[in-house]
Structure 1
Amino acid sequence: MFPIWASGIIFSAVYAQMSSLFVEQGKMMDRSVGSFSIPAASLSSFNIISVIIWVPIYDMVIIPIARKFTHNERGFSELQRMGIGLFTSVLCMAAAAIVEIERLQIAREMGLVDEDVAVPLSIFWQVPQYFLLGAAEVFTFIGQHEFFYEQAPDAMRSLCSALSLLTNSLGNYLSSLILTIVTYFTTKGGNVGWIPDNLNEGHLDYFFWLLAGLSFLNLLVYIVFARRYKQKKAS
């Protein structure tokens, strides 16, 4: 069960971007709605909305359709559900990178690269990445909790459920470690690096692509161990 558990750490590192670099990206975009300027962090509400939308869709639409193909009463097994979530997290980081590429392109066209100012690209272009992250959360986190509760030995169910929650904190630490390593290597030789104070002269999109790549590798490793995993026999 340990490799399955470890796969959640990379996912949690991706999830950590919602309260960190997604916000920093949003601050450098047009946040005006009429005469009102919305806080960049407020877009995390779309993640909550996404979860609220995806839970009933999963229960009432996806499960009945999947049940016809998998012949599983639940539609998907816990392992399949987590795998779908991990794949969706790759799409989430790719969407964030594409938005950043467009934002940087506008900054170059308008000569704002050397200016620490927001570019005229609506912050609502971030909505897809928040929605994808919410969908990934529904599949991965819930699937993970179900997996560890049902597959753990009876005497270790509470412990294994707690360990599944540990991936959240470890993912945050991993995110900070990756950011530190990236900053160290990309600022060598006096370069501004991928994530400078002025994001207009950086390459935050490279960092998002890096996380997308790590998430994809994590998915491949997960598939290998998930296919080899033997389900717990019913007592």
Structure 2
Amino acid sequence: MCCLCSACILLAFVWDVSVPSNGEGIYEVERKQGKNNGVRRILHTNGFKYLDRASIITLVDMVKPANPWHLCTITQVEVKSILKLLPIWFCTVLSSVVFIQMLSLFAEQGAAMNTTTISNFHIPPASMFAFDIISTSTFILLYDKLIVPLYIKVTKREPKPPSELQRIGIGIAMAMASMIIAAIVEQQRLKHAGSKNTRGLSIFWQIPQYVLVGVSEAFVYVAQMEFFATQTPDGLKSLGIRLSMSSSAMVSYICSIILTTVMAITSTNGEAGWVPPDLNDGHLDRYFFLLAALTAINLVLFVICAKRYSPTSFENRAENMEMGTQEQANEA
């Protein structure tokens, strides 16, 4: 049973216990009472105070030895820090809606464009995904060596790169820009499809949107994994990494719901809808603009959640290691 679940069970027995505002009377195991095991204790926070009741020392606990089934340590209760991550996680799930478009609608858009280049060489629409991979890999490699020093030089600030939350916000903004560019490209494609030169717009016009999505992925996914790994307790690092990866797993269902809803609304009265099998009969540009608007709303929600977020406070790692070394010396 996880620490948070056991704390919630204890709430049924101590619900009427009042929580002190100054954090006094809260139970925590001293270092000398147990092994260190390299796990840092979590400092007390004021969020989700109703969960603190599970760690309040009552009169019964003062008379009898601490029972782990009757009293939680503050470190166990502070696993509630996982709950603080959920709003950030929800915003990253919505931002991944843009990334999934490369595997579906971007390829369909490319198939409706002119894929023939010089010497009649045919470019498979799905191969344009290579620009996303190249831009993502290049950005990750150059971030610390070129981009961060250039950012410091331009802003003339102290050598402090953007935080994880700031990088996620930048990535969401770039994802919104990529959807706007994709919509503009689709408008131009429809104009060429309506002229005599059918499918005259070259597929290379898709390169900017692929590059922007790739850089956006580098911002969001890397910062997202770092953020969840650093903000989860030492014993739950795998859970934090799974949270960061689950956003890309859930986005397929969200995209399916959005597309189904849009087609149900726009295909009434015998109309083809925004995303029909033949894109020349639809308005894929409007769908991309809709995704850009949803991403903008998601960006606003993310900024609000990021400003309200309070980082999890751990004890000093150096002090933690010193305590562990001292315990091993005493045992020897």
Give TM-score scaled by structure 2 length: 0.66
The answer to whether structure 1 residue 171 and structure 2 residue 251 are counterparts is yes
Root-mean-square deviation over aligned CA pairs: 1.5
Residue type of the alignment partner of 1:20: S
Q: Choose between structure 1 and 2 for higher RCO, CA contacts under 8 A separated by at least 6 residues.
A: 1
Q: Which runs of 5+ in 1 are unaligned?
A: 113-118
Equivalence for 1:71: 158
The answer to whether structure 1 residue 85 and structure 2 residue 154 are counterparts is no
Q: Which runs of 5+ in 2 are unaligned?
A: 1-84, 316-332
- Aligned 1:1-235 pairs, distance under 5 A: 1-33=85-117, 34-67=119-152, 69=155, 71=158, 73=160, 75-110=161-196, 119-235=199-315
Change (3 A) 1:66 1:233: farther
Change (3 A) 1:228 1:66: farther
1:137-173 CA distance string (max 9 Å, x none): 1100000000000011222211111011010011111
Residue type of the alignment partner of 2:280: N
1:8-54 CA distance string (max 9 Å, x none): 11121110000000000000001012222111000000001101221
8 Å CA contact retained: 1:9, 1:168: yes
Secondary structure, counterpart of 1:29 in structure 2: coil
8 Å CA contact retained: 1:67, 1:76: no
- % same residue: 42
Equivalence for 2:45: none
Equivalence for 1:116: none
**Stretch of structure 1 that moved more, 132-141 or 52-61:** 52-61
Secondary structure, counterpart of 2:200 in structure 1: strand
Distance in 2 separating the partners of 1:161 and 1:9? 14
Secondary structure, counterpart of 2:194 in structure 1: helix
Secondary structure, counterpart of 2:201 in structure 1: strand
Which structure dedicates a bigger proportion of its chain to strand? 1
Change (3 A) 1:55 1:111: closer
Distance in 2 separating the partners of 1:126 and 1:10? 23
C-alpha displacement of 1:87: 0.4
C-alpha displacement of 1:56: 2.7
C-alpha displacement of 1:67: 4.5
Distance in 1 separating the partners of 2:210 and 2:312? 35
Secondary structure, counterpart of 2:273 in structure 1: coil
Which structure dedicates a bigger proportion of its chain to helix? 1
